[in-house]
Copies of this chain bind each other. A is one copy, B any other.
């Protein structure tokens, strides 16, 4: 007997808040503005009113901090940390940009890891899933942009044609058919203009 999926998976991809540019990951923590952005984003997620099943977060400091602030607002939620969704260089961007030129080995190393993250987290619901699920994934601009291109089956090298504000919300729905719908990308309408930043 064939069993078909019947529920949707909703993924809310959140870019971390603004952070201090330090030499190591531990020293790259959120600025006061970054903490405020995380709080505003948590409040928006709460206001959207979904029953969030999971907050998945990158193990990098700025993502962990952002996720913890969001969880403070949402109340008790299941949490998971994951190294696969740490920031990196997913694939050489097309067109190339002059201000960002990682070494080839970075694409080689990060690319497979971020693709592994995509395959792990971006899939339709299991056939046993009865109701729609709502997951929050707190991670990084490059990871989100690459995964959105992949999920929509667009050329992934287009990822750098997208810019994401700190604390922005990208809402993807994966339907039972496997079709993917992008319901919003880089949404920051919940932040006043003077709280918006991209770096």
Residues of A in contact with B (beta carbons under 8 Å apart):
44, 47-49, 95, 97, 152-155, 158, 161-163, 165, 168-169, 173, 179-193
Query: Chain B contacts of A169 at CB under 8 A?
Result: 189
Residue of B nearest to A168 (CB): B184
Q: How far is the CA of A193 from the CA of B165 in the complex (A)?
A: 21
Residue of B nearest to A151 (CB): B161
Decide: A193 near B48, CB < 8 A? Known: A183-B186, A184-B187. Answer: yes
Nearest CB of chain B from residue A134's CB, rounded to whole Å: 13
Residue of B nearest to A185 (CB): B185
Query: Chain B contacts of A154 at CB under 8 A?
Result: 154-155, 158
Nearest CB of chain B from residue A161's CB, rounded to whole Å: 5
Nearest CB of chain B from residue A198's CB, rounded to whole Å: 8
Known: A152-B162, A187-B189; 4 extra A-B contacts, CB below 8 A, are A95-B179, A161-B180, A187-B188, A188-B189
Q: Are B181 and A163 in contact (CB under 8 A)?
A: yes
Q: Which 8 A-B pairs have the closest CB atoms?
A: A189-B189, A189-B190, A185-B185, A184-B186, A187-B187, A187-B189, A152-B161, A162-B182
Q: How far is the CA of A20 from the CA of B149 in the complex (A)?
A: 34
